[in-house]
Amino acid sequence: MQMREAQECAQCINSSQLWSQYLTPSSTSLNISAFTPPLTNSSNMAFNGKWETESQEGYDEFCKLLGIPDDIIEKGRNYKLITEVTQDGNDFSWTQIYPKNAKVTNKFTIGKESDMETIGGKKFKATVSMEGGKLSVTFPNYHHTSEISGGKLVETSKAGSVVLIRTSKKI
């Protein structure tokens, strides 16, 4: 679920490597212990599709907390991140497309440790869980959830009391 690692609008920058220093996990192995009930019906396939950022709340504060410089925050503020999701039961392919056609694809299975990669090419392990229709994963610097609400992809990243909410529309 790299989906939030580099989600901080990395595409608006001249070089995707510049973002990697701010969005790279500080450890190489993560694991979440959570009960993940099996997906059983087609309504759980709601993540499928191509999504484009529509709005962001808390973007500046979240980026500042991660230590991203003001000029990078400014460039990324209005970037429309594209997220492509393919879901087949508990199996996901989650791709985020950044500037200059840079993209990262992470494949994971709910409840199983998966190899993931950041926009900067850093590899790490994480386990994604799903409860109540929300995908959830914890990274070293923040916790991230993704859900479909009102036909929109809503991604919430929390670091302490700072919250970034990115809402994307299906395209």
- How far apart, in whole angstroms, are the C-alpha atoms of residue 120 and residue 33? 27
Give the pLDDT of residue 24: 41
DSSP 122: -
pLDDT confidence tier of residue 74, bands split at 50, 70 and 90: confident
| Cβ(133)–Cβ(122) below 8 Å | no
pLDDT, tens digit (0-9, with 9 covering 90-100), for 77-135: 888 999 999 999 999 999 988 766 778 899 999 999 999 886 656 788 899 999 999 99
Q: What gap in Å lies between CA 53 and CA 137, rounded to an integer?
A: 20
pTM: 0.72
Q: How far apart are CA 133 and CA 12, in angstroms?
A: 30
pLDDT at 139: 72
